Structure 1
């Protein structure tokens, strides 16, 4: 169910620890993204956590553009994609093998080992594609490791980040007051601030970071996903001893980038033979967006008339 504490990213700082962070809460936007697809529960759970991770990391960066997370593996879930575009537009999808998934035994506690169970061996890639002239695209890739997406992200932080970073993620399919089940998710990212003149010494910084991450690890999944617990209350529960200061939150939204013009432009790059293979018996080409499931229908003759690729 919607609440006042949904679909936002909240920056904060733990005053006495030289630590900054982001708290992400996802409600209706996440539920709409997942509800468009007939994902089995464990696949939806994994994608929900990926959406929370992408939103948490993207909004912690100061740039305009697209932040993308992509996981590829040899397991029943072959591809997992989530991206966040300025100013907080989210989309995501998962590709999976239904027969292989049906053959898995997913008992209690399986949500704590979704990476090896569903993705198997493969890689996790994070891509930053900033807008504007003279802006370079960056991509970091790490082998899939650990039992959860959070643990896989920690391997990436250890490889790619100059500063310490830790994250917790959660997703849940909760029943609302109307009896319907709604997807909710969340994440908290902590990052150690750069050394500052007059700030904590090396030993103090290390102890402060250890304390902050120890407190972060006590975050319960139900706390991150409970609409009755405000983001401010959750941060106060975790970090009040060291003084936690929050800043202005930014909104997150379900928003795909597909359009009829974009799909038409893509189809116009195919050859006449390829377009013929795509057309149905009535001579029409139907394309479904893998992200939002929107359907686009065109007469194949439109492209031959306008000149398809030779």
Structure 2
């Protein structure tokens, strides 16, 4: 296997090839599509920094839970940014382990949100492996399933859901089982997350990942044998990407792609921004509350006030019970 180059890469204008000299500033919270045309492969690299850190910091999850949720967000970002229509790409894992549920979703044009339900007492008794980040799927989620859902906003496209058993040691392993079941073409992904200490001494969450997909067969392009050999080579090269590289704030996304694939000429396209953005609003929450019966509204009220906390962003909303009753009454009228 060849040694990877260690020279910084950079993209020029849109749809340009990466070169060996970097003059662009480093950027975070983005998805960058790319293509390795000589090998019939396309893909996306995702880098998450401040958006991921702010999302996880609001919940104050235990470190292993936050790590697993960070990888889930990287995964939905790498897959969701491939949507060619407005909609939602979501991941939902349910198991019998200390983490009973994990949800992450990507909403066009680049909004991310996520949450996890866990049993604190069961987490305390766990014996984590080296670094506390290996084998998290069987350790935290246990036995269960992983569901990927594509929910278009347009009636021109149908809702799709693929479900696989939780298998392997990582979310990447589970994703590969989904690819094998659902994709007509080969696909492979690497995911990474880390709670790293920055130059200011503060620890912050970072995440990164690379998704590879084999392009459809071109009758005038590579033969079947050449495509198989090229895909095998791309998987080997992808496997050399380390978690340290993918989560290094000082290492740009173009440099990572150059290190991995520059021998075959990697071409990059326009980046897509990624944001920590929930969908909850006061009006939306009040609208949901107004669908409950009068007795249910009374049961939810404490000292005449109903408090609702969003699972995704931890934002709390408070409404006078009388206001909710009036809203519910207007719906019944």
Q: TM-score, normalised by structure 2?
A: 0.90
For 1:284, the equivalent position in structure 2 comes to 305
CA 15–276 in structure 1, closer or farther in 2 if over 3 Å, else same: same
Match for residue 213 of structure 1 among 235, 239, 245: 235
Q: CA deviation at 1:124?
A: 0.5
> Aligned equivalents of 1:21 and 1:172: distance in 2?
22
Whether 1:139 aligns to 2:161 is yes
> Aligned equivalents of 2:26 and 2:312: distance in 1?
26
Match for residue 128 of structure 1 among 142, 150, 155: 150
**Runs of 5+ unmatched residues, structure 2:** 1-24
Whether 1:196 aligns to 2:223 is no
Q: CA deviation at 1:103?
A: 1.0
Aligned pairs for 1:1-310 within 5 A: 4-280=26-302, 282-308=303-329
> Aligned equivalents of 2:148 and 2:328: distance in 1?
37
> Aligned equivalents of 1:160 and 1:192: distance in 2?
14
* Contact 1:115 1:146 (8 Å CA) reproduced: yes
> Aligned equivalents of 1:59 and 1:233: distance in 2?
21
Q: CA deviation at 1:58?
A: 0.5
Q: CA deviation at 1:139?
A: 0.6
> Aligned equivalents of 1:17 and 1:257: distance in 2?
40
Per-residue CA deviation, residues 179-229 of structure 1 (Å, 9 max, x unaligned), is 110000011000000001211000000000000011001110000000111
Q: CA deviation at 1:109?
A: 4.5
How many residue pairs end up in the alignment?
307
* Contact 2:292 2:328 (8 Å CA) reproduced: no
* Contact 1:171 1:183 (8 Å CA) reproduced: yes
For 2:20, the equivalent position in structure 1 comes to none
* Contact 1:21 1:60 (8 Å CA) reproduced: no
**Runs of 5+ unmatched residues, structure 1:** none
> Aligned equivalents of 1:258 and 1:159: distance in 2?
33
Q: CA deviation at 1:141?
A: 0.6
> Aligned equivalents of 1:290 and 1:269: distance in 2?
19
> Aligned equivalents of 2:328 and 2:79: distance in 1?
43
- Secondary structure class of the residue paired with 1:171: strand
Q: TM-score, normalised by structure 1?
A: 0.97
- Secondary structure class of the residue paired with 2:106: strand
> Aligned equivalents of 1:26 and 1:304: distance in 2?
42
Per-residue CA deviation, residues 142-161 of structure 1 (Å, 9 max, x unaligned), is 11000000000000000110
- Secondary structure class of the residue paired with 1:307: helix
